[in-house]
Amino acid sequence: MGYYDTPYGNSDQIIKELSYLGISRVRDAAVQIGWEPQFHALGQAGIKLDLIIGSMASPLSTQIRVLRDLTPYVSSVEGPNEVNLGPVTFNGETGPVAARAEQKYIYDLVHSSPDLEGMSVIAFSVAGNIPADYTPYGYNDAFADYGNAHVYFGGGMAPEPQLAKYGHALNSALTPGEGTFLTETGYTTSPTGGGNQGVNEFVQAKYTLDVLLDAYKDGYVQTYLYELIDEFADPNDASQENHYGLFRNDGSAKPAAMALHDLTNILNANCSDAIPLMPDTLHYSVSGLPSTGSTYLLVKSNSTFDIMIWNEPPIWLNGSEIAAPTLPVKVDLGKTFDTVNVFDPMLRTTPVQTLEHVSTVQLWITDHPLIIEASQLVPSIKH
C-alpha cells in the first residue's frame, strides 16, 4: 500500500476492489513510516492485515513502530520474506542463523507485549522447490504459531499437485506440527514475458478458483493470492511480474476477479451469524469423478449444504490453452431436497440449473468448480 506510484497508492480504489471480491484480509509489509495512512484506510474499512516485518530496507525498530500504530487492524505478524532469496542480517549474524534469530525475536516480542496480544505469528518464508532450499533453516515451530508456504506453478500446472509437494511436504518441515498459512500463490497472465508461470486470463480465473478450494480442503489456515492488481502497465508483456493481479493496471477486473466475486457471493448468500442447525452431515456420494477431481462439503449458517465439485485436468500446454474434456458426474445427495440449485462461478451468481424434489443431480464438469446448493430438506415420512 506504500507503493504510491502504482494503483496501490489509491486506497479508495483498493478498498472498492477488495469489497467487490468479498475479501477482508490482506498481506503487506510494515516497511516504513509514512505508509500508515494507507493501512488505516484499509483497517477502517474492515480489512484485517497480515504484516511482514524483519530484514527490509528500514530498521526493525521502525517496522515495529509501524506495527504498533496499526495494532487494531493486525491479525497476524509474519517473519522475514523469502529468506533464501534475500538473506537476513540480524544482530551481527547473516543467513539461516540470522533468519532463525530474527524470527525468535519477533515471536517473543509479539507474545510478550500486552499491546500486541491476540496477533498470531507466522514463520518466515522460504522460496524453493527442493529440500536443500529448506533444510538449512531447521525446525522453527518454537518460534511461530503457524508455518508459511509460497507455492507457484511453473508452466501453467494445475494447483493441487504443487500444493501437496511444495506447500506441505517441504514447508511443513520448517514448522512440524503447526498449521500452515499459504501467504503467496497465484498465476500471472503474461504467457510471453520472462519466466515460465504465465497463462491467459481465463486459465488464471479457473486455476484461481481451484487453488482456493484445494488449499481449503488441504487444511491451509488462510490463503493469500498474489496479487490484487497489476502494479505497472506492461502492454508489451515484457515482465511476468507485472501481470499477477486479479485486476489489470487500469483497475478493470480480469476474469479471475469476476469469478472470485461470483464464488464469494454464492457462498455468502443468505448467510448470517447463526450456527448451522442441520442435525447431521450430508452423506452424499459422487460417481464419475476422475482422479484429477475433488469434492468438498460446506454448510451455510442457514443450514444449506454447498457441495463443491471441481476437476483439474491439464488446460495449459506449451504456451496455449487446451480444451478440457466434458465429463458426466452423478451426485447422490443421500436425502431428498425440495430445492437444489447448481451454480457456475465462472458464469454468474444466479443458478445455471434449478431442480425440485430431487435426491440426485447430474452434472457435466470440465475444468473449474461447480457448486450444488441443497436446501429445504424434505422430512422423512414415518409409517
> 197-218, pLDDT tens digit by residue?
799 999 999 999 999 999 999 9
At 383 the pLDDT is 45
> Do both 364 and 310 map to the same domain?
yes
Phi and psi for 91 in degrees, rounded to 5?
A: 50, 45
Closest CA to 292 of 164, 116, 104, 106: 164
Total domain count, the chain: 2
At 14 the pLDDT is 98
Note whether 136 and 144 are within 8 A (CB): no
> Do both 203 and 302 map to the same domain?
no
CATH code of 366's domain: 2.60.40
Give the count of alpha carbons within 13 A of 293, CB side only. 21
At 170 the pLDDT is 78
Q: Which of 234, 267, 300 is the last residue of a domain?
A: 267
Containing structural domain, residue 320: 272-377
Span between the terminal Cα atoms of the chain, in Å: 65
- CA 301 remoteness from chain centre: 22
Cβ count within 10 A of residue 148: 27
Q: Where are the beta strands (DSSP E) in 215-326?
A: 223-225, 285-287, 293-299, 305-311, 316-317, 320-321
* pTM for the whole structure: 0.94
At 124 the pLDDT is 96
Instruction: Give the long-range contacts of residues 86-90, CB within 8 A, separation 24 or more.
Output: 86/55, 88/54, 88/55, 88/124, 89/55, 90/54, 90/55, 90/60
Q: What is the tens place of the pLDDT at every residue in 278-298?
A: 556 889 999 999 999 999 999
Q: Which of 206, 238, 267 is the last residue of a domain?
A: 267
What are the residue ranges in the chain where pLDDT is below 70? 167-168, 194, 273-280, 378-383
Q: How far apart are CA 101 and CA 112, in angstroms?
A: 16
Q: Which amino acid is at 224?
A: Y
Q: How far apart are CA 352 and CA 331, in angstroms?
A: 16
> Do both 93 and 187 map to the same domain?
yes
Q: Where are the beta strands (DSSP E) in the chain?
A: 25-29, 48-52, 74-78, 89-90, 93-94, 120-122, 147-151, 180-185, 223-225, 285-287, 293-299, 305-311, 316-317, 320-321, 327-343, 353-365, 370-377
> Do both 249 and 276 map to the same domain?
no
> Do both 223 and 136 map to the same domain?
yes
> Do both 201 and 337 map to the same domain?
no
Note whether 347 and 359 are within 8 A (CB): no
> Do both 353 and 298 map to the same domain?
yes
User: Is the residue at 383 inside a domain?
Assistant: no
User: Is the residue at 97 inside a domain?
Assistant: yes
What's the maximum distance between 2 C-alpha atoms anywhere in the chain?
80
User: Is the residue at 104 inside a domain?
Assistant: yes
Note whether 254 and 205 are within 8 A (CB): yes
At 274 the pLDDT is 62
Secondary element (H or E) of residue 36: helix 36-44
